[in-house]
C-alpha cells in the first residue's frame, strides 16, 4: 500500500518519480498512460514535456475534480477515464503508447478521507472502497464465514493469527455491527507480542485487497498493457506490498528474454518473448526519499521494455496466481 505522505504541506508525494521518469524518458514526447492518476503527481510531471500526451485512469470519483483542472490546462494533451485500470484496453492500439505506469495503492487524500475507512487510526464504519466497488469491508466482516475470513487474512494479509482473529470476529459480530475500532481491538487482543508494524496492518491490507479486487485488477492491468504498449515502450510498476510485488516480479521475469527457461511458457513461445527487463533487481527509494517520506520505504519499482511486436499469451499468470484469484472469488456472493 502507498500512503505517500508529506505531512507538512498535506500533498501527495509521488514515490520514485525521478526513477520512473528516467526509465520511461518522456523528453522526446509521446503518449503515456498513467493508470493511477491519484492527485496527478506523475501526470503533472509528464505533461511538463510539451510533446507528451497523457491518458489517465483512476477508479476514485474524487480524482475527477483534479482531472478537470488538468483538462482545462492541457486540453488535447490530457484525457481522463474515471475507470479501473483493468479497463485499459478501451485505449486504442493506434495511440502508439510509449509508456504505461502503475503507482499502486492509495493516495494521501484517500487515507485521510475518513469516509473511505481505509485507516486503522480512524474510528467508524469499515469501508475501504476506492471507487467502483461491489461490496465494502463492512460486508466482509459481517457476512463471511470464519473459514472464509481466515483464508482472506492469511492469503491477502499474510497474517499469522488469521484463525484466532477470524474466530473472534465471528463471535463478536453476534452482538453488534463491528466498527473499525472494534476490529482493531480484536486484532490487538489476538496478537500479544510486540510487532514493529502496527498490529492491524496485515488484516487491514487483506480487507483492502479484497474490497478492491486488487489481485485481478493488477493481473488484468499488466496483461492488457502488454498488448497495448508500442515497440520500445516501457511498462513500469511501483508496488507497496509483497503480494503485488510478487505478481509484478513474476510476470515481468516470465515475459522478458532474460528468463530463458520457464515452466509456465510453452516451449514454442520461448522465441516469442517480446520484452526485456529494465533491471533485474527492483529500484527502491533513496535514503533521502525515505527520510522525506517514510511511507515510501516499502516501494519497489520494476519495469520492462517491449522489444518485439509479437502478441503475448498471458494465460500463465492467471495459472500461477490462481490460488489468490480463488480467494478473491470468496466475495462474489456479497
Ligand atoms: C498511490 S496513488 C497514485 C498517486 C499518483 N501517482 C500521484 O502522483 O498523485 C494510487 C491511485 O490509484 C488508484 N487506483 C488503485 N487501484 C486502481 C485500479 N485498479 N484502477 C484505477 N485506479 C486505481 C487509487 O484510487 C489512487 O488514486
Q: Are strands 97-103 and 229-239 parallel, antiparallel or unpaired?
A: parallel
Q: Tell me if 5-109+214-318 shares its fold with 134-211.
A: no
C-alpha of residue 107 to centroid of ligand 1, in Å = 7
Share of the chain above pLDDT 90, in %: 82
Given a cut of 90, is residue 13 above it in pLDDT? no
pLDDT of 76: 97
The ligand 1 atom at the shortest distance from the C-alpha of residue 17 is: 8
Q: Is 84 in the pocket of ligand 1 (CB under 6 A)?
A: yes
pLDDT of 1: 43
Domain ranges of the chain: 5-109+214-318, 134-211
Q: How confident is the model at residue 267 (pLDDT cuts 50, 70, 90)?
A: low
Q: Mean pLDDT across the stretch 238-245?
A: 96
Q: Is 40 in the pocket of ligand 1 (CB under 6 A)?
A: yes
Angle at alpha carbon of residue 164, lines to 215 and 214, rounded to 5°: 10
Q: Whose CA is nearest to atom 2 of ligand 1?
A: 107
Q: Is 41 in the pocket of ligand 1 (CB under 6 A)?
A: yes
pLDDT of 326: 98
Supply the CATH classification number for the domain 5-109+214-318: 3.40.50.150
**Cα 302 to Cα 126: distance, rounded to the nearest angstrom:** 32
Taking domain 134-211, whether its CATH number is 3.60.20.10 is answered by no
**Cα 307 to Cα 132: distance, rounded to the nearest angstrom:** 35
Give the strand order in the sheet containing 52-57: 78-81, 52-57, 30-34, 97-103, 229-239, 300-306, 275-277
Predicted TM-score (pTM) of this structure: 0.93
C-alpha of residue 34 to centroid of ligand 1, in Å = 9
Q: Is 107 in the pocket of ligand 1 (CB under 6 A)?
A: yes
Q: Is 239 in the pocket of ligand 1 (CB under 6 A)?
A: no
**Cα 7 to Cα 1: distance, rounded to the nearest angstrom:** 17
The DSSP annotation for 124-174 comes to S------SS-S--HHHHHHHS-HHHHHHHHHHHH--TTHHHHHHHHHHHTT
Q: How confident is the model at residue 9 (pLDDT cuts 50, 70, 90)?
A: very low
**Cα 21 to Cα 34: distance, rounded to the nearest angstrom:** 12
Amino acid at each position: 500500500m502507498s500512503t505517500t505522505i508529506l505531512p507538512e504541506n498535506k500533498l501527495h508525494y509521488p514515490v520514485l518519480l525521478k526513477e520512473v521518469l528516467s526509465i520511461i524518458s518522456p523528453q522526446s514526447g509521446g503518449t503515456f498512460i498513467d493508470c493511477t492518476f491519484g492527485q496527478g503527481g506523475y501526470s503533472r510531471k509528464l505533461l511538463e514535456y510539451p510533446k507528451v500526451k497523457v491518458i489517465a485512469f483512476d477508479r476514485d470519483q474524487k480524482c475527477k475534480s483534479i482531472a478537470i483542472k488538468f483538462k482545462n490546462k492541457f486540453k488535447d494533451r490530457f484525457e481522463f477515464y474515471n475507470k479501473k485500470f483493468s479497463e485499459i484496453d478501451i485505449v486504442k492500439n493506434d495511440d502508439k503508447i510509449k509508456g504505461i505506469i502503475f503507482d499502486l495503492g492509495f493516495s494521501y487524500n484517500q487515507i485521510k478521507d475518513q469516509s473511505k475507512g481505509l485507516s486503522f487510526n480512524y474510528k467508524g464504519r469499515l469501508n475501504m472502497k476506492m471507487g467502483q466497488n461491489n461490496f465494502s469491508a463492512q460486508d466482509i466482516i459481517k457476512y463471511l464465514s470464519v473459514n472464509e475470513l481466515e483464508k482472506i487474512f492469511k492469503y491477502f494479509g499474510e497474517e499469522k493469527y488469521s484463525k484466532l482473529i477470524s474466530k473472534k470476529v465471528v463471535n463478536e459480530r453476534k452482538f453488534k455491527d463491528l466498527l473499525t475500532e472494534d476490529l482493531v481491538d480484536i486484532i490487538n487482543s489476538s496478537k500479544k507480542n510486540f510487532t514493529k508494524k502496527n498490529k492491524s496492518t496485515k488484516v487491514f491490507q487483506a480487507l483492502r485487497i479484497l474490497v478492491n479486487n486488487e489481485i485481478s485488477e493488477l493481473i488484468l492491468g499488466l496483461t492488457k498493457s502488454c498488448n497495448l504498449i508500442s515497440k520500445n515502450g516501457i511498462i513500469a510498476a511501483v508496488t507497496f506490498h509483497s503480494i503485488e510485488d510478487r505478481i509484478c516480479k513474476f510476470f515481468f521475469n516470465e515475459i522478458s528474454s532474460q528468463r530463458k527457461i520457464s515452466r509456465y511458457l510453452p516451449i514454442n513461445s520461448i522465441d516469442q518473448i517480446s520484452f526485456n527487463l529494465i533491471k533485474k533487481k527492483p529500484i527502491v527509494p533513496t535514503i533521502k526519499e525515505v527520510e522525506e517520506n517514510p511511507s515510501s520505504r516499502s516501494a519497489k519499482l520494476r519495469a520492462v521494455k517491449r522489444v518485439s511486436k509479437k502478441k503475448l499469451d498471458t494465460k500463465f499468470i492467471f495459472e500461477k496466481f490462481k490460488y489468490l484469484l480463488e480467494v478473491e472469488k470468496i466475495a462474489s456472493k456479497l
